[in-house]
Amino acid sequence: MTELAAAKAALKTQAVETPSWAYGNSGTRFKVFAQAGVPRTPQEKLDDAARVHEFTGVAPTVALHIPWDRVDDYAALARHAEERGVRLGTVNSNTFQDDDYRLGSICHPDAAVRRKAVDHLLECVDIMDTTGSRDLKLWFADGTNYPGQDDIRARQDRLAEGLSEVYERLGEGQRMLLEYKFFEPAFYTTDVPDWGTAYAHCLRLGPKAQVVVDTGHHAPGTNIEFIVAVLLREGRLGGFDFNSRFYADDDLMVGAADPFQLFRIMYEVVRGGGFTPDVAFMLDQCHNIEAKIPAIIRSVMNVQEATAKALLVDRSALAEAQRAGDVLGANAVLMDAYNTDVRPLLREVREEMGLDPDPLSAYRRSGWAERIAAERVGGQQAGWGA
């Protein structure tokens, strides 16, 4: 197989998971702008996600957020997805929107609150059993705002204890993905602030505990691809929450703020053997001012473009230049791939998959946006936190 054919074959196997919450209304703490046609129910979110998969061919699963996507019958929800050609994916827990969590959840000083938080995580695993989801994604807003507010070490002990109870509950083939974030909502200490802390906990827990890298969760200037390389080398990269940022956790479309960074990340994924189903490629974004479904399609396409460029890196030429200490030559090999216009290649890939080569205009022509705006009238639109 030629390198180009191998790249095309790999691109056809790509899977990008879209988040249910990206289909709902969202905003900043200043204002949430409602949009016409936004889903009112988890089922309607799945209907929209199915459109993204229909036009891109590489978005077959949808991440749930509990309780935002709470339903009485998760088996029926899974069937609803399957009937529309998608599947339920990662279950995201939520231990950050209850009044009881003012001082934290599984790191809270009060054992009763910790119990409540762990019970919620165990409930998420019950849901995974029903939906057939592989991954439980854990992000904790836990932390402190003031020096001395709580004991940093004791909070780590409580975290370890809570995580280990959930880890023991995981079934065959299930995993726990531990997400880190350096600040917000806590402003002094965060209990899982960085990949090192997440990695240390995962290492103690066992192989089913993996680190998830949300690209918006680092201090400005952090070399994320280095983190990716190290986690892959240690066998602990469970997945990504993709989005992009100019300042902090902006949750803008992946590949919008810094496509070169996304390429560098995807190159380390390819280089480190991470382009496999063992690494979950998820979006975690909010579309506050732009139309949601086209923005999600655009985001999936941005991931595809970065991946295509990463797959096109001439790895033997790169290795040769690196061996020879040819600094400029090695850099040029990488930049050649980055500067390649891969859009024609991706159009071919889509045609070979039986898709329209231009997913965005195919979506526009489908009339779905007009249909949902006309039909989804009344009821309570879904929103971040609902």
Residue that the structure tokens 């998760």 belong to:
74
Distance CA 176, CA 170 (A): 8
Residue 305 lies near Mn ion (rule: CB under 5 A): no
First to last CA, the chain: 49
Distance CA 275, CA 282 (A): 13
> Of 47, 54, 214, 305, which one interacts with ligand PSV (CB under 6 A)?
214
Decide: residue 78, CB within 10 A, 0-12 exposed, 13-18 middle, 19+ buried.
middle
Distance CA 100, CA 120 (A): 13
CA angle 179, 181, 182 (to 5 degrees): 150
Interacting partner of 181 out of Mn ion, ligand PSV, none (Cβ under 5 to 8 A depending on kind): ligand PSV
Residue 139 lies near ligand PSV (rule: CB under 6 A): yes
Residue 179 lies near ligand PSV (rule: CB under 6 A): yes
Give residues 186-215 in contact with Mn ion (rule: CB under 5 A): 214
We find the least distance from the C-beta atom of residue 124 to ligand PSV, in angstroms, to be: 11
Provide the token pair at 145: 């705002």
Nearest to ligand PSV of 93, 368 (CB atom): 93
Helix (H) or strand (E) holding 329: helix 327-338
Distance CA 10, CA 266 (A): 13
Nearest to ligand PSV of 44, 214 (CB atom): 214
> Of 241, 268, 305, 356, which one interacts with ligand PSV (CB under 6 A)?
241
Nearest to ligand PSV of 44, 249 (CB atom): 249
Q: Which stretch binds Mn ion (CB under 5 A): 73-81, 280-288, 347-355, 375-383?
A: 280-288
DSSP string, 60-113: -EEEEETTTT--S-HHHHHHHHHHTT-EEEEEEP--SSSGGGGG-STT-SSHHH
Nearest to ligand PSV of 69, 179 (CB atom): 179
Decide: residue 384, CB within 10 A, 0-12 exposed, 13-18 middle, 19+ buried.
middle
Residue 92 lies near ligand PSV (rule: CB under 6 A): yes
DSSP 20: G
Site mask for ligand PSV (CB under 6 A), range 180-209, x = bound? -x----------------------------
We find the least distance from the C-beta atom of residue 194 to Mn ion, in angstroms, to be: 14
Residue 249 lies near Mn ion (rule: CB under 5 A): no
DSSP 23: G
Residue 135 lies near ligand PSV (rule: CB under 6 A): no
Nearest to ligand PSV of 227, 318 (CB atom): 227
Nearest in space to 95 (alpha carbons), one of 143, 36, 155, 55:
143
Residue 284 lies near ligand PSV (rule: CB under 6 A): yes
Interacting partner of 249 out of Mn ion, ligand PSV, none (Cβ under 5 to 8 A depending on kind): ligand PSV
Nearest to Mn ion of 166, 342 (CB atom): 166
Interacting partner of 47 out of Mn ion, ligand PSV, none (Cβ under 5 to 8 A depending on kind): none
Interacting partner of 92 out of ligand PSV, Mn ion, none (Cβ under 5 to 8 A depending on kind): ligand PSV
Nearest to Mn ion of 179, 356 (CB atom): 179
Contact residues: ligand PSV, CB under 6 A: 21, 92, 139, 179, 181, 214, 241, 249, 284
